[in-house]
Amino acid sequence: MNLKKTLVAATTLLLPFTMHAADLENGEKLSRSCALCHGKYMQGVAGDLYPRLAGLPSGYIENELHRLKDGRREAHLPMLITSMVDTLSENDMSDISSYLEHMPVPAAHRRAIPNSKGNASAGKNIYVNEECDSCHRKDGSGKAKKGIPPLKGQHTDYLFKQMKDFKELARIHDDEDEKEDSSFVNMNDMMLRDLVAYFSTMDD
């Protein structure tokens, strides 16, 4: 049995009884366009544009797809062309999200997360003092049931860029109604580098 069939069969057992295998097959089919940039196994690629998608919480993925579709999150041109996110239905976004959440990254295709330029020890202090662990957990694993993504195992350049976007209010960090998110206001680039340096030490 190939990876696709194995994944569909396995995730069917993990999902609510109202979720049919056909929905997961639709998710697999629709996610093929994502693989053009994010990699065959959705492992992500080096750089700040194409993060790892495999294993991210379905609630988080679905929420971000909605934000991309209605313009609350900026999408760069290649994604707009290949994903056709504006054509996705509610069911499509749910199917893609559920499929990706349970998609494993084979060990042979896991990309080592490089050590980022920065002070990991200082980053750990920031992580604790700013109470990042209250949402993303002490080990950076996130909270899947609440749609909070993991930080460990994600590409550090991507994480750095997202924190810069949060700081500049170019992307919503947490609460949709919180227009002035102050989470990163007082952090300079070095502090953000220290944070991602710490993220890169987290065991995935």
Q: Which residues are annotated as a binding site?
A: 34, 37-38, 79, 132, 135-136
What is the rounded distance in angstroms from the CA atom of residue 113 to the CA atom of residue 152? 9
For the annotated binding site for heme c, the residues are 34, 37-38, 79, 132, 135-136
C-alpha distances out from residue 78 to 36, 44, 49, 50, 99, Å: 10, 15, 10, 11, 22
Supply the DSSP symbol for 111.
P
Please name which of 5, 100, 1, 122 lies closest in space to residue 55, comparing C-alpha atoms: 100
User: What amino acid occupies position 57?
Assistant: P
